[in-house]
């Protein structure tokens, strides 16, 4: 049985097409499922190995980015998701999906209690921005980023991406090695705006839960799958595969190794 | 709320005119009389629903009567030429004569359709949303985006939106408040509101906005222009639609409210300070509702559930149902319409332009499946009635008949107008000679050799040319994962790309180039040359990134003043003639177009009538087999040769160079299509053979600006010598070579290695090697006489270009 990915959608989801495509070229089967079909039981989460929450503006990001979908997940799919994670399966949230995972309390997910411990606030530039950023991969247990290059390049596109939390939470994230990606200046130094595009605490761009199986990030790996996605492909020699591809590949490999 | 009768059978002409004006019907006397005689024939008085239906259907916005009318046209007081419709004579005729077999559907559906690959076609439509954006910039612009997306969705059986393109024209952002016409919003407010509206709608729909332009002129202050375009991807077997009697009329999406009433007829009126009281003419947008509709309709389309679809745009249900049932007949029960709130009169329900609504023709046997699909995603859908074979449009409300109109009268009964048009060639003061002009700027150096560095910086920083990065970054131009040539390119991802390229089918290298051309400044001198230059510019942008003329299609969007004024209409005739001449010469057909007329603002305090500069936006799309052959405009490495392709003429009229010195002049750049076509064909071939490293089109600011942009976007300096640029014999000044905006020219970067092969390919085309790229950040230009006329660093040029709008202006 090949790895199967459920790409969850609801009103306002986008990025679903390219997220499905990313998993497909990494060797997975994908299904794009509306959340109502999970709630009513018309679709069965247990049939899948990876749950992907793609980017977009779920329910218009009304109130705050991702909060309505986060509440829906928490209150209507909480047990389903807990069982999914406990059975060793993977969840990835990208951009709006990351905002949902944080607001639903699945990330950082210090204990199995679902409670929100951090947030993704309005960018310090106070506006939506689309730009490419450099990221530094941290040494973590994250199943999605094992063996990734130390420095990768990906686009962001968001208005609410400033990761922030009380100091004790940040300390715990650090000591647990849950910070997966940090924004970094092109010269490797600590980034200022726009290299840290949103003003995130500790330059945090992505985090995982203590198991490394729930992972969320603001940048979009599904937008850098081939060299033609890179803004410099007309001026530099680049490898055929983009930096984002390995994240999907790792997830698929993880499933093959653990669920075959 | 009931249906009202409006007695018109026994009233005189004055009363007919009053009924039209006070009802905001925008119908002229001839039209009112045609309606009067129809109802005399019917032996009854019309209802308000009927009158309103006719007014919407016959509105300039819906039926484009100016472009269809007979025109008596005279140029410079000469003999009268009779034109049997601008659209048929110039636009449609061009497309027919060019006869491209890849044109799948032109001028008939909500968007033009061209072939893409074996499985898909591409739909492309551009529209304006000018008047709503003048009154409520955020809502007006947002619903402009929403509306054009629904055009793609309402093309064939529904195209998937894959790209947005937006072009705006605003008043100057630094306009003094005491210069603001009574009742109009400050350009800064309009600019920020429009950008935010486009951003929030496009981003929430998950559609990349990757191409556009922003222009400024004080005459756009009371009447800004907002052009919104959308490209869609549609399966080849989903491009045809039909309506069968017995099909259900299904409304899908948002509820109907009192927003957007009279939008269609409102757009046929000039604006003034009372226009803002017409608050209900502007619609209220909800992009998430529209995204839900896209999701449901794409699924319903793929399952073949419906037979036809159109969007509820101007005129609301009255237009959508009236248009779909044109050849059959339709029966609608207005009480079935779901309302946002109670209290709407029947005619308001029928006309409302409330957003995010689509109308489908649904075979009754598919109703259950369709409703199930909608219910699962919480999208409302309601059966309003059915299509019939009566050839009548019947509308009832609560069991009472509200309208019964013959489809034939509704769609063919509009009297053909005859309009008068005149054109007088204007004459602007010519600036004194070059030395005096530059001397005024105080930049003559001691040896009497002019230094043009300041002029170059001034043009780079002028609002039309300056970087729009502050705006572009607020649009998601990466979503859907297929934008391979982005709006910002170069070593620091901030150079101005000539066009964008998208690969809508991930995994395939087949792509679409989307570009635009617009230059309202030229139309002050002659709208013919403005239109010609707009076409040339759009094509240059396509060619510059690797497209070809033979697979390029054009869209025309005219934004003009009041066409009832002969001089305004005369300019429109000139522009339409250029469209025919230049499009046929280049062999690039029009596939869709739109016009927005009556763009004038009356300042009730000064009594001044302000017409916008006559503006034609040309949008171009070109399907390319392999995006890997596309190129960008940023200089790639030091030590390469810089070429100018195409001849420079003594054409500084309406240039940015004249503009920064306060002149218009008369020598507007003209298009020489034989030269232009030879240049573009040769260049396309050289790009295909990978002989070109980078290419930038010469437009605003000429060779000087184009070369500077290439240099600072690539992060390399340049050493150039103007003596080697191809030039007409009349060109004697360095400033003409630097800043003339002559058409059909490009700047290219070619390696020494490719020099011979490149020059061989360019045989018969004017070209010259003017210098090379250098490692050092110096930008040095020598004049025809060998003296240095520009010496600066690329960082300074870039700073001039970026500082204007760095924080939003």
CATH code, B727:
3.90.650.10
β B717-721/B778-782 pair status: parallel
Which of B67, B82, B107 finishes a domain? B67
Which of B67, B92, B107 finishes a domain? B67
Question: In 3D, which of B637, B636, B531 has the Cα closest to residue B575?
Answer: B531
Which of B25, B49, B67 finishes a domain? B67
Interchain CB contact of B375 with A (< 8 Å): no
CA distance B144 to B228: 6
Structural domain contains residue B768? yes
Structural domain contains residue B781? yes
Contact B376 A37 (CB under 8 A): yes
| Strand residues in B655-805 grouped as ranges (E) | 694-697, 717-721, 746-750, 767-774, 778-782, 788-793
Burial B205-219 (b: 16+ CB within 10 A, else e): bbbbbbbbbbbbbeb
Provide the 8-state DSSP code for B92.
I
Selected residues 35-54 of chain B with any CB under 8 Å from a CB in chain A: none
Interchain CB contact of B477 with A (< 8 Å): yes
Contact B628 A228 (CB under 8 A): yes
Among A9, A130, A234, beta carbon nearest to B478 = A130
Within 10 angstroms of residue B328's Cβ, the number of other Cβ atoms is: 21
Structural domain contains residue B117? no
Structural domain contains residue B663? yes
**Enzyme catalytic residues of A:** 95, 220, 222
CA distance B353 to B262: 8
Among A60, A157, A235, beta carbon nearest to B478 = A157
Quote the minimal CA–CA distance from A213 to chain B in Å: 25
Provide the 8-state DSSP code for B90.
I
CA distance A78 to B102: 52
Q: Which helix (H) or strand (E) holds A256?
A: helix A245-258
Both tokens assigned to B505: 């089918």
Question: In 3D, which of B771, B779, B712, B723 has the Cα closest to residue B747?
Answer: B771
Residues of chain A with Cβ-Cβ distance to B288 below 8 Å are: 11-12, 57, 59-60
Q: What angle do CA B114, B115, B121 make, to 5 degrees?
A: 85
Q: Is residue A51 within 8 Å of residue A84, measured between CB atoms?
A: yes
Coil vs helix vs strand at B776: coil
Taking CA atoms, B747 is separated from B108, B227, B644, B706, in Å, by 39, 29, 5, 7
Residue carrying structure tokens 């070593």: B491
Question: In 3D, which of B38, B167, B74, B713 has the Cα closest to residue B422?
Answer: B74
SS3 content of chain B, % helix, strand, coil (to 5): 35, 25, 40
Structural domain contains residue B25? yes
Coil vs helix vs strand at A221: helix
Residues of chain B with Cβ-Cβ distance to A230 below 8 Å are: none
CA distance B803 to B809: 8
Among A13, A18, A234, beta carbon nearest to B632 = A234
The string of pLDDT tens digits covering residues A181-237 is 999 999 988 999 999 999 999 999 999 999 999 999 999 999 999 999 999 999 999
Contact A9 B636 (CB under 8 A): no
Interchain CB contact of B205 with A (< 8 Å): yes
Burial class (CB in 10 A: 0-12, 13-18, 19+), B245: middle
Residues of chain B with Cβ-Cβ distance to A57 below 8 Å are: 203-204, 206, 287-288
Please name each of the domains of chain A with its CATH number. Answer: 4-258 (3.40.50.880)
Interface contacts (A, B; CB < 8 Å): 111
Quote the minimal CA–CA distance from A85 to chain B in Å: 27
Q: Which residue of A has its CA nearest to B626?
A: A228
Residues of chain B with Cβ-Cβ distance to A231 below 8 Å are: 486, 488-489, 493
Best mutation target, A11, A25, A126, A130, to test chain B (most B CBs within 10 A): A130
Q: Is residue A255 within 8 Å of residue A3, measured between CB atoms?
A: yes
The string of pLDDT tens digits covering residues B492-515 is 999 999 999 999 999 999 999 999
Q: Which helix (H) or strand (E) holds B544?
A: helix B527-544
CA distance A34 to A90: 19
Within 10 angstroms of residue B681's Cβ, the number of other Cβ atoms is: 17
Regions of chain B short of the pLDDT cut 70: 1, 263-269, 275-281, 433-449, 809
B70-75 sheet: strands from edge to edge: B80-84, B70-75, B418-423
**Which residues are registered as beta bridge partners of B500?**
B514
ipTM: 0.96
Question: In 3D, which of B116, B29, B61, B53 has the Cα closest to residue B514?
Answer: B116
CA distance A91 to A81: 9
| Strand residues in B85-224 grouped as ranges (E) | 103-105, 112-115, 120-128, 160-170, 209-216
Helical residues (DSSP H) of B387-452, grouped into ranges? 407-412, 434-440
Taking CA atoms, A160 is separated from A56, A71, B463, B469, B472, in Å, by 12, 18, 30, 20, 18
Question: In 3D, which of B389, B264, B388, B365 has the Cα closest to residue B318?
Answer: B264
β A29-34/A4-9 pair status: parallel
Among A13, A21, A229, beta carbon nearest to B484 = A229
Both tokens assigned to B647: 């001849």
Contact A57 B204 (CB under 8 A): yes
Give the pLDDT of residue B606.
85
Residues of chain B with Cβ-Cβ distance to A18 below 8 Å are: 479-482, 506
What DSSP string runs through B322-349?
A: HHHTTTS-EEEEGGGS-BSSS---HHHH
Both tokens assigned to B577: 């003639």
Burial B249-269 (b: 16+ CB within 10 A, else e): bbbbbbbbbbbbbbbbbbbbb
SS3 content of chain A, % helix, strand, coil (to 5): 30, 25, 45
The total number of structural domains that make up chain B = 2
Structural domain contains residue B186? no
Average pLDDT over every residue of A116-142: 96
Both tokens assigned to B2: 């009931």
Is it the case that residue A81 has pLDDT exceeding 90?
yes
Contacts for B108 with CB less than 8 Å, ≥ 6 apart: none
The string of pLDDT tens digits covering residues B599-644 is 988 888 888 888 899 999 999 999 999 999 999 999 999 999 999 9
Is it the case that residue A115 has pLDDT exceeding 90?
no
Q: Is residue B559 within 8 Å of residue B617, measured between CB atoms?
A: yes
Residues of chain A with Cβ-Cβ distance to B210 below 8 Å are: none
Cis peptide bond prior to A194, omega within 30° of 0: yes
CA distance B230 to B148: 6
Best mutation target, B355, B476, B482, B710, to test chain A (most A CBs within 10 A): B476
Quote the minimal CA–CA distance from A63 to chain B in Å: 14
Residues of chain A with Cβ-Cβ distance to B628 below 8 Å are: 228
Both tokens assigned to B643: 């070429």
Contacts for A81 with CB less than 8 Å, ≥ 6 apart: A45, A51, A73, A91, A106
Angle between helices B453-461 and B702-714 (to 10 degrees): 80
Within 10 angstroms of residue A27's Cβ, the number of other Cβ atoms is: 14
- Note down the domain range covering B732: 429-466+631-809
CA distance A45 to A80: 8
Give the pLDDT of residue B445.
36
Structural domain contains residue B461? yes
Question: In 3D, which of B341, B419, B316, B320 has the Cα closest to residue B110?
Answer: B320
**Is B661 designated active site?**
no
Taking CA atoms, A192 is separated from A184, B493, B770, in Å, by 8, 17, 40
Quote the minimal CA–CA distance from A169 to chain B in Å: 31
Contact A12 B199 (CB under 8 A): no
**Which residues are registered as beta bridge partners of A33?**
A8
Structural domain contains residue B736? yes
CA distance A129 to B225: 24
Question: In 3D, which of B187, B199, B261 has the Cα closest to residue B225?
Answer: B187
């Amino acid at each position: 049985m090949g790895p199967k990915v459920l790409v969850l959608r609801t009103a306002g989801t986008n990025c679903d097409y390219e997220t499905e495509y990313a998993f497909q070229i990494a060797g997975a089967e994908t299904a794009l499922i509306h959340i109502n079909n999970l709630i009513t039981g018309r679709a069965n989460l247990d049939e899948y190995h990876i749950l992907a929450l793609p980017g977009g503006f779920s329910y218009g990001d009304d109130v705050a980015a991702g909060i309505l979908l986060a509440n829906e997940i928490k209150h209507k799919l909480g047990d389903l998701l807990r069982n999914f994670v406990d059975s060793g399966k993977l969840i990835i949230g990208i951009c709006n999906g990351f905002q949902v995972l944080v607001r639903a309390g699945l990330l950082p997910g210090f204990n199995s209690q679902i409670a929100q411990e951090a947030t993704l606030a309005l960018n310090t530039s106070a506006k939506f921005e689309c730009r490419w950023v450099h990221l530094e991969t941290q040494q973590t247990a994250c199943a999605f980023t094992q063996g990734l290059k130390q420095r990768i390049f990906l686009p962001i596109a968001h208005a609410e991406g400033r990761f922030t939390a009380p100091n004790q939470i940040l300390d715990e994230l650090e000591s647990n090695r849950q910070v997966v990606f940090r924004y970094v200046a092109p010269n490797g130094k600590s980034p200022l705006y726009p290299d840290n595009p949103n003003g995130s605490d500790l330059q945090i761009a992505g985090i995982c839960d203590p198991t490394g199986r729930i992972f969320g990030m603001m940048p979009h790996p599904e937008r850098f799958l081939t060299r033609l996605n890179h803004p410099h492909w007309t001026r530099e020699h680049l490898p055929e595969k983009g930096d984002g591809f390995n994240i999907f590949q790792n997830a698929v490999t993880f499933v093959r190794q653990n669920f075959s | 709320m009931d249906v009202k009768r409006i007695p018109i059978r026994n009233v005189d002409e004055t009363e007919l005119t009053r009924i039209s004006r006070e009802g905001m019907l925008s119908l002229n006397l001839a039209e009112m009389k045609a309606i009067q005689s129809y109802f005399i024939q019917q032996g009854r008085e019309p209802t308000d629903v009927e009158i309103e239906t006719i007014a919407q259907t016959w509105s300039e916005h819906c039926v484009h009567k100016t472009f269809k009318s007979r025109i008596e046209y005279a140029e410079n007081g000469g003999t009268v030429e009779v034109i049997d419709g601008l659209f048929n004579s110039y636009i449609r005729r061009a497309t027919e004569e060019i006869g491209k077999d890849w044109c799948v559907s032109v001028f008939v559906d909500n968007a033009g359709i061209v072939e893409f690959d074996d499985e898909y076609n591409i739909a492309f439509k551009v529209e304006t949303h000018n008047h709503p954006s003048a009154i409520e910039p955020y809502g007006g612009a947002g619903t402009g985006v929403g509306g054009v997306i629904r055009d793609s969705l309402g093309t064939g059986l529904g195209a998937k939106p894959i790209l947005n393109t937006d072009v705006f024209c605003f008043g100057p952002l630094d306009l003094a408040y005491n210069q603001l016409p009574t009742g109009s919003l400050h350009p800064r407010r309009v600019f920020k509101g429009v950008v935010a509206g486009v951003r929030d709608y496009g981003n929430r729909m998950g559609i990349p906005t990757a191409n556009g332009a922003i222009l400024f002129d004080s005459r756009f202050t009371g009447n800004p222009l907002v052009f919104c375009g959308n490209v869609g991807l549609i399966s080849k077997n989903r491009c045809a639609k039909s309506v069968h009697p017995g099909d259900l009329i299904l409304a899908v999406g948002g509820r109907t409210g009192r927003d957007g009433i009279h939008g269609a007829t409102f757009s046929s009126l000039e604006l003034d300070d009372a226009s803002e009281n017409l608050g209900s003419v502007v619609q209220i947008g909800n992009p998430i509702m529209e995204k839900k509709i896209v999701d449901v309709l794409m699924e319903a389309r793929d399952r073949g559930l419906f037979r036809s679809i159109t969007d509820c745009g101007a005129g609301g249900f009255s237009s959508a149902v009236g248009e779909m049932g044109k050849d059959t007949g339709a029966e609608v029960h207005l009480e079935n319409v779901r309302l946002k709130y109670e209290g709407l009169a029947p005619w308001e329900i029928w006309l409302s332009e409330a957003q995010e609504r689509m109308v489908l023709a649904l075979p009754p046997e598919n109703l259950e499946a369709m409703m199930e699909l909608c219910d699962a995603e919480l999208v409302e859908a309601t059966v309003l009635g059915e299509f019939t074979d009566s050839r009548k449009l019947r509308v009832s409300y609560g069991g009472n008949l509200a309208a019964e109109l013959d489809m034939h009268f509704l769609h063919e009964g509009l009297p053909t107008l005859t309009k008068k048009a005149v054109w007088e060639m204007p004459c602007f003061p010519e600036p004194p000679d070059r030395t005096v002009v530059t001397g005024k700027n105080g930049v003559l150096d001691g040896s009497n050799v002019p230094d043009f560095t300041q002029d170059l910086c001034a043009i780079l920083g002028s609002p039309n040319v300056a970087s729009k990065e502050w705006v572009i970054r607020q649009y998601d131009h990466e979503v859907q994962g297929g934008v391979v040539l982005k709006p910002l390119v170069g070593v620091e991802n901030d150079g101005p790309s000539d066009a964008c390229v998208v690969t809508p089918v991930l995994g395939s290298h087949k792509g679409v180039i989307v570009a635009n051309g617009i230059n309202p400044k030229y139309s002050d001198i002659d709208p013919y040359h403005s239109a010609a230059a707009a076409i040339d510019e759009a094509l240059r942008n396509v060619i510059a990134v690797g497209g070809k003329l033979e697979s390029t299609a054009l869209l025309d969007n005219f934004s003009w003043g009041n066409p009832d004024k002969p001089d305004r209409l005369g300019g429109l005739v000139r522009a339409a003639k250029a469209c025919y001449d230049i499009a046929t010469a280049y062999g690039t057909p029009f596939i869709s177009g739109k016009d927005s007329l009556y763009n004038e603002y009356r300042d009730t305090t000064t009594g001044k009538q302000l017409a916008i500069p006559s503006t034609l936006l040309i949008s171009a799309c070109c399907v390319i087999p392999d995006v890997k052959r596309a190129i960008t405009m940023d200089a790639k490495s030091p030590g390469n040769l810089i070429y100018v392709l195409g001849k420079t003429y003594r054409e500084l009229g309406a240039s940015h160079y004249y503009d920064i010195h306060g002149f218009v002049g008369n020598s507007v750049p003209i298009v020489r299509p034989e030269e232009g076509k030879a240049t573009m064909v040769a260049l396309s071939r050289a790009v295909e053979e990978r002989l070109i490293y980078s290419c930038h089109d010469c437009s605003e600011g000429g060779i000087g600006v184009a070369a500077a942009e290439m240099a600072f976007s690539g992060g390399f300096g340049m050493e150039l010598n103007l003596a080697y640029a191809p030039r007409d014999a009349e060109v004697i000044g360095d400033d003409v070579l630097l800043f003339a905006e002559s058409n059909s020219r490009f700047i290219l970067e070619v390696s020494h290695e490719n020099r011979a092969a490149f020059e061989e390919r360019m045989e018969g085309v004017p070209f010259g090697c003017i210098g090379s790229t250098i490692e050092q950040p110096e930008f040095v230009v020598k004049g025809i006489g060998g003296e240095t006329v520009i010496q600066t660093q690329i960082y300074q040029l870039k700073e001039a270009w970026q500082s204007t709008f760095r924080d939003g202006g």
